[in-house]
Amino acid sequence: AYNRLTAFLMHDLNNLIAQQSLIVENAEKHKRNPDFVDDAIETIAGSVERMKRVMRQLKRDETERVTKATELRFLVSSAVDNCSGKKPVPTLDLNGVNASLVVDAEQFTMVLTHLLRNAQDATPPDGTVSVTLRDGEGRVTIDITDTGSGMTPEFIRDRLFRPFDSTKGAQGMGIGAYQAREFARKLGGDLKVQSSPGDGTSLSMIIPIDRQGGNPGAVPMT
């Protein structure tokens, strides 16, 4: 059986392989197209940065992670940018939310990126994937909504949060929701799911606001 670290690594590596495979499959047909070459270079550069991030995470212990206050809008925008090379391209509504998170920014961005890529995988290219920020009632919420295939209540209850079980099979590993819920709970929050077959899915990452500051979680900005 795979351990948790192996699952996370396979998830990231499979995403990188998928991106590079698309370039190779289309290179012969489009290699003389300047736009294709530009896109290929950008995709490869992004893959290199992601591989560097994975290597940095492997080299440092969990206790060595750097946590500092980072603007939520920056973290979410970075995750959306990471997924902008695939259709449906995620849309982003910051909704005027003005807060920071006391987190490992790199890890948090990767968690959101995994959720967005899962949403894209479940949604046809002509569908939609949207990200919306909300605040109120002492918390900030990140909503990721897609118009994809959706999930049954039984799948959500029995399989969604099992890191080694997925409708995508071993190739996808299906760790995005599990990883996001664990991360949110470490911040005192949670991950909520609304979905039904054929009607898409909405994931809401809820993070409490720390009014005193200094604790992991959201910090209001003045």
**Rounded to whole angstroms, how far apart are CA atoms 189 and 177?**
14
- The reply to whether 35 falls in a domain is no
- The reply to whether 200 falls in a domain is yes
What domain range includes position 184?
67-220
- The reply to whether 127 falls in a domain is yes
Beta partners for 93?
Answer: 132
**Rounded to whole angstroms, how far apart are CA atoms 116 and 130?**
9
Digit-coded pLDDT (tens) for 183-222: 899 889 999 999 999 999 999 999 998 654 544 556 555 5
- The CATH number of residue 163's host domain is 3.30.565.10
Tokens of 11: 């998830």
**Rounded to whole angstroms, how far apart are CA atoms 205 and 189?**
8
- The reply to whether 150 falls in a domain is yes
pLDDT for 204 equals: 96
Digit-coded pLDDT (tens) for 123-171: 999 999 999 999 888 899 999 999 999 999 998 888 888 765 554 433 3
Q: How many domains does the chain have?
A: 1
Residue 89 DSSP symbol: P
- The reply to whether 113 falls in a domain is yes
The sign of the torsion formed by the CA atoms of 30, 31, 34, 40 equals positive
- The reply to whether 86 falls in a domain is yes
- The reply to whether 81 falls in a domain is yes
First to last CA, the chain: 48
Per the confidence metrics, is the pTM higher than 0.85? no
- The reply to whether 9 falls in a domain is no
* Backbone conformation region of residue 96, classed left if phi is above 0, alpha if psi is from -120 to 50, else beta: left
